[in-house]
Amino acid sequence: MQLLYPCLIFLLLQSGQSQAKRLVGPAREATSSRIKGGQEAETGFAPYQVSLQPVVGAHNCGGAILNEQWIITAGHCVETFVPALVNVITGTNRWAEPGAVYYTAEIHMHCMYDQPYLHNDIALVKLTQNITFNELTQPIKLPTRPVREGDEIVLTGWGAEEAYGSSAENLQKLSLGFVPLDECKEIFNQTSSMGVGHICTYSREGEGACHGDSGGPLVSDGQLVGLVNWGRPCGVGLPDVQANVWYYLDWIRRRISGNSKCTA
């Protein structure tokens, strides 16, 4: 057991890769994206964006600041980690140059994480210290309504340029549209890995989320509407599937207020 974490860290450092964004189905060799087809985000564009790093200096996943003490991300980003391996980097467009580093006190996985497969891929992270807010470090609002067709959704992240590639140095942004669930399910041949806890986003072939974007925020009209969950790598002309933050609002509020625990 003692050796597990050093080995894990070693592997992470060796590979320089991010495990983020789960990829489902045939892993096609795709010439693809750091947030494929995205653009470099301006300084301060997404002050709610965080980088989750198992060791400081190795980006693994994205996430978003909900308030002074709480970060939200995808379940698969923290599932295999103890709190000591979830370092939270804030206040920067360059994950290797932290504005600040915060440490994790508690990881709260959704009780039904991955049940069924790829569902309820959402987690909350409670920090050991309050975040100090500034121009580059701000919380994002929870949604006040479900996202719908016609809404503009902005994804930000340090995801790879290619499937399984290394992370982008500078934060990237990409504007996406909303794909209704029934259409998205149709595209994915009625897969059982998609449901009301998901939203789908799409722009065009050659654009989309990629490894390292996982857990990262999708924002519409100043509200957090999604967290990167899964897709085919990367930007191959299919929608990406994200956690539907609107659907998990009750769970988020109950967890943050300490009124909910997994009973199993």
Catalytic residues: 76, 121, 214
Backbone dihedral angles phi then psi of residue 256, each to the nearest 5 degrees? -70, -35
Using CA atoms, how far apart are residues 262 and 264, in angstroms rounded to an integer? 6
According to the binding rule CB under 6 A, does residue 238 interact with ligand NAG?
yes
Q: How far is the CB of 129 from ligand NAG (least distance, A)?
A: 7
Give the DSSP letter of residue 23: E
Using CA atoms, how far apart are residues 160 and 156, in angstroms rounded to an integer? 12
Judged by CB under 6 A, the stretch of 109-117, 150-158, 186-194, 242-250 that binds ligand NAG is 186-194
Write each residue from 118 to 137 as x if it is in contact with ligand NAG (CB under 6 A), else as -, in one continuous string.
------------x-------
According to the binding rule CB under 6 A, does residue 192 interact with ligand NAG?
no
Q: How far is the CB of 24 from ligand NAG (least distance, A)?
A: 9
According to the binding rule CB under 6 A, does residue 102 interact with ligand NAG?
no
According to the binding rule CB under 6 A, does residue 230 interact with ligand NAG?
no
Interface residue with ligand NAG among 189, 257, 259, 263 (CB under 6 A) is 189
Which residues contact ligand NAG by CB under 6 A?
25, 68-69, 130, 187-189, 238
